[in-house]
Amino acid sequence: MSTVAAVFATEVPWYTGVPTKLLNKTTLIAASTDHLPVYTLTFEIPKNATFTGRAKPHSEVRIDMGDVVKMVIPNYKPKSYSMSALRDDEFDITLKVYPNGRASGFLDRLQIGEEMNTFGISANRSRQKGEYVGIVAYGVGITEGLPIAKAELEKGDAKRVVLLWASRTFDDTFWNEDIASLMKQYPNTFKMVHILSREKRDGCLHGRVNPEVLQHVFQPTDSEDARFLSVGTKEMMRMTDEYFASNSFHMPKHHLIPKM
């Protein structure tokens, strides 16, 4: 074998990731007949790991820019998960486990102390500044929505950050203490709105997200300065862009973090 062929034969593809140990599993919503379970998995950040190609170190994942972690599911493929928290030596992902879900099922079965391959990847986004930030999170999309809302509040240039979270019922929500503490910390800047499709509850909107709901929830003083983000399935995000456009917030002009 020539030297070049030998190098190619041994080179590990960039999307293989590096072994990453599961340290902890926290239940946010327990499995029941009515609710799919949601867990936070805490992993140790691999030390002295080398990343090539588009893979990047976990410590360089920019939660505020929509970067994600790729969880390499054996005999399947790398699947995207938002990093819900990043600390010096650890990171979290928060996931909903779907019935027969290939990736979420594997992650659910991973035992504390076991390793799986993971890597960080850039979402290739830039941020548009604006005094008004509106975020719509659909279901488990809050795993990206809340950390970005928090990051926007910490940056300090937004005068208002409004987060609309669409869930089936209030029992499908989690992180309510984190949300309450953000409301306490930023009483004049942060506003949280829940919309529930299958429950009527005081203090929450009822129904599905539509242009009228968005107009009611997001009321920037200066519409030119308004920036929005929606987090959900591709179809939900495309639909939300259309709703915003019908309210005169045309995308990508009003995207908070448009793709470059």
Ligand X SMILES: Cc1cc2nc3c(=O)[nH]c(=O)nc-3n(C[C@H](O)[C@H](O)[C@H](O)COP(=O)(O)OP(=O)(O)OC[C@H]3O[C@@H](n4cnc5c(N)ncnc54)[C@H](O)[C@@H]3O)c2cc1C
Minimum CB–partner distance for residue 184 and ligand X (Å):
25
Measured from the CB atom, is 96 or 127 closer to ligand X? 96
C-alpha dist (Å) from residue 170 to 40, 50, 149, 161, 166: 19, 43, 20, 21, 10
- Residues in region 55-74 near ligand X by CB under 6 A: 68
For position 95 contacting ligand X by CB under 6 A, the verdict is: yes
For position 125 contacting ligand X by CB under 6 A, the verdict is: no
Stretch (H or E) spanning 138? strand 132-138
State which of residues 233, 242, 248, 252 lies at the interface with ligand X (CB under 6 A).
Answer: 233
User: Angle CA(215)–CA(259)–CA(12) in degrees, nearest 5?
Assistant: 140
Minimum CB–partner distance for residue 145 and ligand X (Å):
10
Q: What residue numbers does the annotated binding site for FAD cover?
A: 76, 96, 104, 143
Q: Are 152 and 132 in contact (CB under 8 A)?
A: no
Stretch that binds ligand X, among 46-54, 75-83, 179-187, 213-221 (CB under 6 A): 75-83
* Two structure tokens written together for 75: 């005999």
| CA separation for the pair 118, 116 (Å, rounded) | 7
| CA separation for the pair 161, 64 (Å, rounded) | 14
Measured from the CB atom, is 217 or 236 closer to ligand X? 236
Measured from the CB atom, is 43 or 132 closer to ligand X? 43
Binding stretches for ligand X (CB under 6 A): 68, 79-82, 93-96, 98, 100-105, 140, 143, 233
